[in-house]
Amino acid sequence: MATTVEPILDNTIEDPEHRAPLVLGGLDYAGVTDKVCSVWEADKAPKVWWLVLILAISLLMMLGACIGHLLMKGVGVWGNNNPAYWGWPIVNFVFWVGIGHAGTLISAILFLFRQNWRTSINRAAEAMTIFAVICAGTFPGIHIGRVWVFYWLFPVPSEHLAMWPNFRSPLLWDVFAVGTYFTVSLLFWYMGMVPDIATYRDRAKTKIRKMVYSLLSLGWTGSARGWHRYEAAYVILAALATPLVLSVHTIVSFDFAVSQVPGWHTTIFPPYFVAGAIFSGFAMVVTLLVPARKIYGLQQLITIRHLENMNKIIMATGLMVGMAYGIEFFISWYSGVAPERFAFYNRAFGNFSWAYWIMVSCNVFIPQLFWFKFFRTNTIAMVVICIFVNIGMWFERFVITVTSLCRDFLPSSWHYFHPTGVDVMMLIGSFGLFTTLFLLFCRYLPIIAISEVKNVIPVKSDEH
Amino acid sequence: MTEKQNQETADQKLVGLLAQFEDPGSLVRACNEARESGYNKIDAYSPFPVHGIDPALGIPRTILPFFVLIIGLTGCAVGLGMQYYANAGDWSPLFPGYNFMISGKPFFSLPANIPVTFEIVILSSAIATFLGMWALNRLPRLANPLHRISRFKRVTNDKFFLLIETKDPQFKREETESQLSQWGASVVEEVNEDLTDQQLPSWLQLAGLMTALILLIPPVLIFRAEGMTSRKPRLHVVPDMDWQEKYKTQTLAPNLGDEQHPNFLFVDGRAMQEPIPGTIARGDLYTDSEYFRGIKSGTESFATISTAGVHTGLQDAAHQDDSHQDEAAKDKPAEPAKDDPAAAPEPDWVTQFPANVHVNQALLERGQRRFNIYCSVCHGYAGNGDGLVNARAMALAASGQAQWTAAKSLNDPETKKNPVGRIFDTISNGRGTMGPYKSQIPVEDRWAIVAYVRALQGTGIKPTTMTKAVEKAVAE
Amino acid sequence: MHEVQPAKITSPIVSLKDNYLRLIPISLIVAAAGIGGALLFSGFNMQRFSFAYLTGFCCLMSLCLGGLFFVIVMHLTRAGWSVTVRRIAEIIAMCTLPMFILYLPILIPLMAGSDEVYVWNQPGWSIHGDAAEKQAVLDASKYPPPIEELKSYYLNRWFFAGRMVTYFAIWGAMAWFFLSNSLKQDKTGDKNLTAKMQKHSTWMMILFAATLVFSSIDFEMSLAPFWFSTMWPVYFFSGGVLSALAAITLICLWLQRSGRVTDEITVEHYHDLGKLMFSFVIFWGYIAFSQFMLIWYANIPEETFWFAWRINPAPDGVMTGWQWFSLLLLFGHLLIPLLALMARTVRRSKNFLVYAAIYLLVMHWVDHYWIVMPQYSDIISDHVGPAAGLAMHFKPLIDIPCAIGMAGVFVALFCLIARDRPLVPLKDPRLGEALAHHNP
């Protein structure tokens, strides 16, 4: 009989001799299952859930209306102008794709590094990844102008068009990168969820639920041979997803960096974008999980230690991003190339300097608070900091995209950028889409990887 | 469930014995015991992967990684091949590739094709992993006798099970059960297969087939539409983008004021302003008269300096008034030439090819191809004035349905006397009823045609049977 | 998650014992013979020799910095598995301090005003032509060319030397901090020392990153003072960590073959080191490709020439030899190790890992040769325009002895620092975890 060790309440205390427990309150196997399933088995969803869902759906409808308006009127409804031909839609795209990096990072990279604490948070993070990529995909989708011929992006043989996509274009690489990322994340997420859906299937009370979850769980029995192949597949998918997750934001950074625009063309962009993506993605995970664990009473599974670890990663990646800002500035000076030097001077002291300093404050200065344990372990403080981080990361993409375009090589085309109401409503609306999907996920799918958490439950080892 | 266990009827078949364990440790121990006792048709079931169960059951390493590696390498080859086919190969008769010339970069250069190749490798490997894993696990399998056992529902929660199948040669109903209890099983239960629900209901099969067929219709329609040409106008989703409110070049702008106080966009009522007199657009200055006009240099009048090669605003302005008449008279055959050669003295045509035209095999071949495209329709492939258009027009003219001046035979002794400059001018600006071709044929190609015409005239090929057939048709 | 077992060191020999007294002279003789041979075969051409020497130095320097990174990051992430191999990394990291002495043959001539290696050390470097032409241009105008004036704020000999002293002091202090505390723990077994090292590893990581950024620019990027790439420090870093992992693996294998630390370093640790090497092969490829790709695609003259020298044929279409080096890097440094290290059985084979580690170290040298030596070709050859290729000056009799000599230097430094100190942390609180480490 697996007996649990005595409950520990604070697992944030460092002791090099012992690893801190990752599941608190002495939960055993059945306890974990009951805890996670209680979210789904509750007859009524919590009031907060309904409240937020209604708000989110109304925002989602606003997004839908904006897209309809855009299709009727054309892309002129945005603030995009000449020279800022990439305005908010692309900023939003890069922002959401960045957020969509944390999930696969937690599932794949932390898995390969054997970071056991990932088990409680990976499911929600993966789900968040997929929803963020959906939000991200929306923006370039509607940015192509003639949405109804979107399939021209893919190499589909066509007698009408009599031509193929240009495979040397970074924008086409984006189609492949984001498409692959979405597909692989979905497969990874779903595969990881099958054993837990089987748990839901075996606990389902109503006939409809039983049928739906039976189909989704594919008849999973948890046989040892099944687990063996499942684990092998999980390792392979993790090994595939790790370079993939790096490649996605790398390719997004190529969109900018292969050009010659000063401020866009700098070779550090690939790793710098990836670090920034992880930074914003983890911030979003913290922002979502802190209220979720509170509402659903999952504090014993998503412990303060999990949150603290995430905050440490946020701080580390924030410092990497800050270092990249520094290298960019130094090299732009060192290069001696006049447009390059002007581009960076203009960022910090030009007409968009307000955006630049918002970015630096939110991304570099504010996360420094995580040096203090209080801010790493206090849930309210960390959510506030994480929201600032996401604001900062949105502004980072804004600064890169708009500032550089508005001050390109030709001073005669210099211009300012003003967003329109549609721009603003679309950004807010995309949060509606994201939140709606996330809330539905919380209600109908296991938000914690039940079978994986059981592996890290502290048990007295009587068999060794 | 208990009654099911008791009735060993015809539609029930014993699959094996299922033993329940309370913790992973005792499951692993039981697995070891079972394997050591000689059982091999055994499997363990657990809520999570149990450490050490693989050696206990003697599970060999899965072949999945090799399968994925092969698919991944195939994906690499296919991905690179697809890009090469699409962007660098235009040799395929069906859906040929399309060569983009972009920023002077080569059509196919490996660095630029690495990202897409990489993504395709990852995508194909990931899909292979996902599907391969389920296929090796024989899943999805929705009808599993284990799912009929209510106790087994806790396998996804907190209990651990060991199944010994009846197929196992060692399997003996009573003996195996006692062994299982001995190894620490808390409960041992029979697993029975219900033979009656092996098959899907027939209506479900039919419905599934119908759905599959119906789902096939849209892709088939799309592929049909994609593979065919259509005479119907395309769907206009955004009409104001397709039909924009704008003034076309060289049209009259509408009067924005009223009759008494006309208010035009420009004073002369046009939608577009003409170039300032005496100016020449960049790239339109043709000073090499011999090359661009076929006239000996130094002998042309100033007015022709910028006009002979390409129409410019000056000349267009001069003909502005009759351009509308031209529109109306477009379908009428053969008006007398606008620039009557008799009115002006014959220019001093060059008699030798200009210095920068090198008459060689390549130029003649180029000229032959251009001649066959543009000239042969009237003048015939051999230049005897027996082209298909000419033949048809002559037949119509003979029956009074059209007016037609016969195309000249280039082998005519009079025509043969024309200097190369004049032939060039004829091609450029037309002569008699022949229209100008300077907008279709670039200068160097015109000289190539001239060279080819000269070569044709040298061969002296006489009218062929084709011409005779034409004469016959005319006679009829 | 299972309780850790009480840690016990069971190997009979855990240090070099007195063998280091024998090894130090041997390796020093190899070092002297190699470096001296290179000098001899270069015909005492100090410029040619300095470039060969700098190649070896940068190769070794990045390796030691990789070791320092390994130590810091293992403390930062509270890794348990790596405890038994950490001491070797600590010793490698400690080699950074004496590396300063090895840099003096480059630094002293630089301070004396030599521009044989770092061309920015003399005014007129941005002017094309021979010395007299440069002097004429400089005399004609009162001011130096603007790019030289700008860069002289950073690239001047006094600031350069000051930075060098700072880097080595910081690296040495950090390496000594970890090594001394770890050695102290061998005696006391105080777990608070681990907590202390973890605590200080945070800001040390920042300091390490900052010094690495500027030192990589100083060591190698400033050899081509026109050229700039923000990715450069990451590129330098990725190769360094890869070679450090290969060196750690090689040292572990050698120690175990000679009967030391036989029980503590298990096949599981080799498996993990193999995985890390595999991932850093990919990381190096990722960084190298991204850097190349962005410069190749944008094709801006200010940056492209650096790669053009290493890839393009000479203006008359003759292959100059650098293409083969570039291809060797693509296949030898990325594709071959990528495929070779992919299989699990391979990463768990000690016999294979010997060859893999030596191979990766050789490739690391090729990488730095490819970085450093074209600059020599640039200085001495009269090349045509930025897009043209450069003639190659690979002289096996100079470059290979120099590389072997540098390897000798490394062994000597390692033995000097290791002496009879234990080669595995004896009382680390996570030793048990490392000993029980098992790859799923």
Question: Would you kindly state where each structural domain of chain A is located, as residue ranges?
Answer: 29-455
Per the CB < 8 Å rule, is C302 touching A17? no
Share of chain A above pLDDT 70, in %: 96
Most confident of A25-29, A150-154, A379-383, C8-12: A379-383
> What is d(CA B122, CA B72) in angstroms, rounded to the nearest whole number?
7
Contact assignment for B227 to A159 by CB distance below 8 Å: yes
| SS3 label, residue B286 | coil
Q: Does residue A154 carry a pLDDT above 90? A: no
Name which of C184, C164, C36 is nearest C97 in CA terms.
C164
Report how far Cα C144 is from the mean position of its chain's Cα atoms. Answer: 35
- Of these ranges, A150-164, B12-26, C395-409, the one predicted with the greatest mean pLDDT is C395-409
Dist. CA A200–CA C40, nearest whole Å: 77
**pLDDT(B209) > 90:** yes
At C191, which amino acid appears?
K
CA-wise closest residue to A393 among A96, A78, A87: A96
Distance CA B180, CA B31 (A): 10
Q: Which chains touch A (3 or more CB pairs under 8 A)?
A: B, C
Contacts with A294 (C-beta within 8 Å, 6 or more apart), sequence order: A379
Triad A175, B84, B111: Cα angle to 5°: 65
The tens digit of pLDDT for each residue in B381-395 reads 888 888 888 888 888
Question: Taking a C-beta distance cutoff of 8 angstroms, is the pair A56, A436 a contact?
Answer: yes
Residues of chain A with Cβ-Cβ distance to B153 below 8 Å are: 202-203
Tell if the CB–CB gap between B114 and C289 is shorter than 8 Å. yes
Distance in angstroms (rounded) separating the CA atoms of residues A432 and A438: 10
Q: Is B59 on the interface with C (CB under 8 A)?
A: no
Which of C387, A353, C356 is CA-nearest to residue B104?
C387
**Which residues of chain C have a CB within 8 Å of the CB of B112?**
297
Subunit contact A168:B137, Cβ cutoff 8 A: no
Distance CA C227, CA C221 (A): 7
Cβ–Cβ under 8 Å, residues C90 and C66: no
Question: How would residue A159 be classed by pLDDT, with cut points 50, 70 and 90?
Answer: low
Q: What is the pLDDT of residue A459?
A: 60
Tell me how many residue pairs between chain B and chain C have CB atoms under 8 A apart: 10
- Please tell me the distance from the alpha carbon of residue B17 to that of residue B38, in angstroms, as a whole number: 16
Query: Which of C77, C232, C298 lies at the smallest CB-CB distance from A260?
Result: C298
The domain limits of chain C are 19-118+155-435
> Residue B324 — very low, low, confident or very high, per pLDDT cuts 50/70/90?
very low
Q: Which of A60-64, A299-303, C128-132 has the lowest mean pLDDT?
A: C128-132
Angle at C350 between CA C344 and CA C355, to 5 degrees: 95
* Backbone φ, ψ for residue A325 (5° rounding): -55, -45
CA distances to A329, A407, C291 from A404, in Å: 14, 5, 21
**B310 and A CB contact within 8 Å:** no
- Cβ distance C297 to B111 less than 8 Å, yes or no, reads yes
Interface probe, candidates A15, A335, A456, A457, chain C, greatest C C-beta count within 10 A: A335
Evaluate whether A434 touches A279 at the Cβ level (below 8 Å).
no
What is the token pair recorded at A271? 């790793």
Helix segments in B153-233, DSSP class H: 173-182, 202-227
Using alpha carbons only, what angle is made at residue B404 by residues B398 and B408, rounded to the nearest 5 degrees? 110
**pLDDT tens digit string along B221-276?**
887 877 777 787 777 777 777 788 788 877 887 777 777 887 777 877 788 887 88
3-state class (DSSP) for residue B20: strand
| DSSP H helical ranges for B183-288 | 202-227, 239-242
Strand pairing of B160-165 and B187-194? unpaired
Q: Would you say residue B120 has pLDDT above 50?
A: yes
Using a CB-CB cut-off of 8 Å, the residues of chain C touching B69 are 342
User: Quick check: bond before B463 cis, omega within 30?
Assistant: no
For residues C294 and A269, give the distance between their C-alpha atoms in angstroms, rounded to a whole number.
Answer: 9
Lowest-confidence segment of A178-192, B162-176, C101-115, C160-174 by average pLDDT: B162-176
Residue C194 near chain A (CB below 8 Å): yes
Residue C352: CA count within 13 A, CB half-sphere: 16
Weakest-pLDDT range from A48-57, A155-164, A323-332 = A155-164
What confidence score (pLDDT) does residue B99 get?
Answer: 79
Can you give the pLDDT at residue B343? Answer: 53
**Nearest in space to C13 (alpha carbons), one of C412, C423, C429:** C423
Contact C302, A337 (CB under 8 A): yes
- Please indicate whether, in this complex, the C-beta atoms of C151 and A327 are within 8 angstroms of each other: no
SS3 of chain C: helix, strand, coil, percent, to 5 = 70, 0, 30
For residue B41, what are the contacts with CB-CB under 8 A and spacing of at least 6? B16, B164, B165, B167, B168, B171
Fold of domain A29-455: Formate dehydrogenase/DMSO reductase fold (1.20.1630)
Residue A458 pLDDT level (bands cut at 50, 70, 90): low
**Largest interatomic CA distance in chain A:** 78
Which amino acid, residue C88? I
Contact indicator for A268, C230 with CB cutoff of 8 Å:
yes
* Contact residues on chain B for C338, CB-CB shorter than 8 A: none
Q: What is the mean pLDDT of chain B?
A: 80
C3 has a chain A CB within 8 A of its CB: yes
Q: Is the CB of residue A323 less than 8 Å away from at least one CB of chain C?
A: yes
C308 touches chain B (CB under 8 A): no
Give the pLDDT score at A352: 92
DSSP secondary structure letter of residue B169? T
Residue type, C435: L
A171 at interface of C, judged by CB pairs closer than 8 A: no
Contact C368, C58 (CB under 8 A): yes
Q: Which amino acid is at C273?
A: L
Could you give the strand order of the β-sheet that contains B12-21, starting from the edge strand earlier in sequence? B42-45, B160-165, B12-21, B187-194
What is the distance between the terminal CA atoms of chain C, rounded to a whole angstrom?
A: 13
What pLDDT is attached to residue B322? Answer: 41
In the structure encoding, which two tokens stand for residue C25, read together?
């002279």
Q: Look-up: residue for tokens 């002077």?
A: B104
Spans in chain C with pLDDT lower than 50: 1-4
Q: Is the dihedral of CA A352, A354, A360, A362 positive or negative?
A: negative
Cβ-defined contact of A265 to C294 (cutoff 8 Å)? yes
Name chain A contacts of B186, Cβ cutoff 8 Å.
none
Average pLDDT on A397-423 reads 90
Q: Is B275 exposed, middle or buried (0-12, 13-18, 19+ CB in 10 A)?
A: middle
> What residues pair up with C95 in beta bridges, in sequence order?
none
Residue B189: beta bridge partners? B18
What pLDDT does residue A312 have? 92
Q: Under 8 Å CB-to-CB from B73, ≥6 apart: which residues?
A: none
The residue to which tokens 């199948």 are assigned: B165
Residues in chain B, how many?
A: 476
Q: Please answer whether residues B416 and B394 qualify as being in contact, where contact means their C-beta atoms are separated by less than 8 angstroms.
A: no
State whether A16 and C1 contact (CB < 8 Å). Answer: no
Kind plus residue range of the DSSP H or E element containing B85: helix B64-88
Say which DSSP state A457 is in. Answer: S
Q: What is the mean pLDDT of residues B305-315?
A: 41
Residue of A nearest to C126 (CA): A336
Strand partners, C316: none
The answer to whether residues A119 and A455 touch, using CB atoms and an 8 Å cutoff, is yes
Domains and CATH numbers, chain B: 1-199 (no CATH), 237-273 (no CATH), 328-475 (1.10.760.10)
Reading the block at residue B368, the tokens are: 């032959």
pLDDT value of residue B313: 38
> Cβ(A188)–Cβ(A436) under 8 Å?
no
CB A335 within 8 A of CB A344: no
Judged by CB atoms closer than 8 Å, whether chains meet at A155 and B82 is answered as: yes
**pLDDT at position B474, please?**
53
Instruction: Enumerate the residues of chain A whose CB falls inside 8 A of the CB of residue C287.
Output: 270-271
The answer to whether the CB atoms of A458 and C287 lie below 8 A apart is no
> From the CA of B122, how many Å to the nearest CA of chain A?
6
Angstrom distances, CA of residue C166 to CA of B453, C90, C156, C169, C207:
82, 20, 15, 5, 11
Residue of A23, A221, A255 to mutate for B, most B C-beta atoms under 10 A: A221
